Amino acid sequence: MKTNAIVAGVGMTTFGKHLELGLKAIGGEAVTAALADAGIVGADLQAAYVGNAAAGLVTGQESIRGQVVLRGIGLGKLPVINVENACASASTAVNQAAAMVTAGLYDCVLALGVEKLYHEDKSKSFGAFSGAVDVEQLQEFMAGLQKAASAAGADAASKGSGKSRSMFMDIYAAAARRHMSRYGTTVEQFAGVSAKNSRHGHLNPRAQFRDELSIDDVMAAPMIAEPLTRPMCSPIGDGAAAVVLVSEDRARRMGIDKPVRIRSTVLHSGWDHGPDEEDAARLCAREAYEEAGIGPDDLSLIECHDASAPAELMAYEALGLCAKGEGGRLIDEGATALGGRLPVNTSGGLLRKGHPVGATGIAQIVELTEQIQGRAGGRQVEGATVGLAHNGGGTIGGDAAAQCVTILSN
């Protein structure tokens, strides 16, 4: 979808372990920051799209999550649309908010992503991910993962899934082993993704983890599911991110001097297809480029869904940065690090910034907006003008259940 929505303001909490805070406090902080950044008050909003994936299971709050969070900071009356789309909940909220602004139905809309995943009962936290697949096929699906892991001699990956870790780490581990077998990708290249993102996260004061890691550090960390060590897996987290979108006319009246435009936002579901055929990520990227009138070479930076280190490397290929199977080469060349030709995950990515799933997609938009406006501090990409956000959620078969790609520019 080609849009004319303008980012008027952004806000974001620090991502991390916030057992003492509830959804209302976390979400309210991000909304308050976004309103202040836009220079407006809550009464100026005409609607709100609120992304959340797991509050029902983790906190018990169902049905009216967005209304509860917004009423907590005195925002009632306005229409609130609750959006649940696994890890793509927040990017889907932005997609829908931008569509309404572009259609001319609203000219000032809030999109919020908020999540609490930490819980004293860890089974609740990990259980939030087990529902992001087809649960009627869950036992068969898990058995297939364990069988493949055993056949590959992956002892850690053959047991404990969904209990001591998110089952999605087993999905990513299986994909990583296939990539290594087919293309010769190395564990060191996956570790290079984690090390790179740790350097970026070190520069981000809102990141969950800020310590710098070397490739050797990543390789020596505890094994989670072969070949993924702990730093190759995104952590669970609590946090929120918000964005205020306005029409072009409203932006002019507000006097926004550094407007960031959402050029295109594309949302698709996965489908049944062959392993070498176009998948949801490639389809979303292709359509987003076409609608924005640009290509991969025009990008200044990318925030991609690195829920695992192999996921980032494979996203390079899906987004057209390199041919299929060549993602590892970009890591070896340093192309996607700060100072490289196309920095990826300057925020630290999900691996280091953290992954409160219902907030992740808007956190990406926050990072890209601040980069394009030249206010990203020590991690600033010089001359940034165009950014792409790649955010996926859930799995059905061999594809993402929901996939969203958004392109922003000055």
Residue pLDDT, tens place only, 93-130: 999 999 999 999 999 999 999 999 999 888 888 777 78
Would you state the pLDDT for residue 314?
98
pLDDT, residue 406, reads 98
Is residue 64 located within the same domain as residue 135?
no
The CATH number of the domain where 354 resides is what? Answer: 3.40.47.10
pLDDT of residue 130: 81
In a domain, 1, yes or no: no
- 355 near 234, Cβ under 8 Å? yes
Write phi, then psi, for 53 (nearest 5 degrees).
-110, -35
185 and 243, same domain (yes or no)? no
310 and 170 part of one domain: yes
Instruction: State how many domains the chain has.
Output: 2
- Of the three residues 246, 261, 276, the one that is the final residue of a domain is 261
pLDDT score for 23: 97
Q: 344 lies in a domain?
A: yes
Q: Are residues 384 and 250 in the same domain?
A: no
Both structure tokens of 186: 């190395």
Structural domain includes residue 204: yes
Question: What is the residue range of 140's domain?
Answer: 122-235+263-409
**Structure token digits, residue 216:** 């050797």
| 299 & 326 share domain | yes
Within a domain: 401: yes
Together in a domain, 50 and 93: yes
Residue bearing tokens 């494979």:
314
217 and 296 assigned to the same domain: yes
Alpha-carbon gap, residue 8 to 39, rounded angstroms:
8
Q: pLDDT below 50 — which residues of the chain?
A: none
3-state secondary structure the chain: CECCCEEEEEEECCCECCCCCCHHHHHHHHHHHHHHHHCCCHHHCCEEEEECCCHHHHCCCCCCHHHHHHHCCCCCCCCEEEECECECHHHHHHHHHHHHHHCCCCCEEEEEEEECCCCCCHHHHHHHHHCCCCHHHHHHHHHHHHHHHHHCCCCHHHCCECCCECHHHHHHHHHHHHHHHHHCCCHHHHHHHHHHHHHHHHCCCCCCCCCCCCHHHHHHCCEEECCEEHHHECCCCEEEEEEEEECHHHHHHHCCCCCEEEEEEEEEECCCCCCCCCCHHHHHHHHHHHHHCCCHHHCCEEECCCCEHHHHHHHHHHCCCCCCCCHHHHHHHCCCCCCCCCCECCCCHHHHHCCCCCCHHHHHHHHHHHHHCCCCHHHCCCCCCEEEEEEEEEEECCEEEEEEEEEEEC
267 and 255 part of one domain: no
| ∠ Cα 18 23 24 (to 5°) | 115
pLDDT tens for each residue of 324-380: 999 999 999 999 999 999 999 999 999 999 999 999 999 999 999 999 999 999 999
- Triad 157, 161, 162: Cα angle to 5°: 160
How many Å apart are CA 373 and CA 364, to the nearest integer?
14
Which tokens is 20 given?
């003492």
Total-model pTM: 0.96
In 3D space, the residue among 257, 241, 181 whose CA is nearest the CA of residue 206 turns out to be 241
Asked whether residue 380 falls in the same domain as residue 278, the answer is: yes
Catalytically active residues, by annotation: 87, 355
Question: Which of 75-81's residues contact partners 24+ apart within 8 Å by CB, and which partners?
Answer: 75/31, 75/42, 75/45, 75/48, 78/45, 78/46, 78/47, 78/48, 79/46, 79/47, 79/48, 80/47, 80/48, 80/50, 81/47, 81/48, 81/49, 81/50
Same domain, 65 and 194: no
* Residue 334 sits in the same domain as residue 306: yes
Residue at 270 is within a domain: yes
Of 302, 303, 258, 305, nearest to 280 by C-alpha is 305
Instruction: Tell whether 277 and 209 lie within a shared domain.
Output: yes
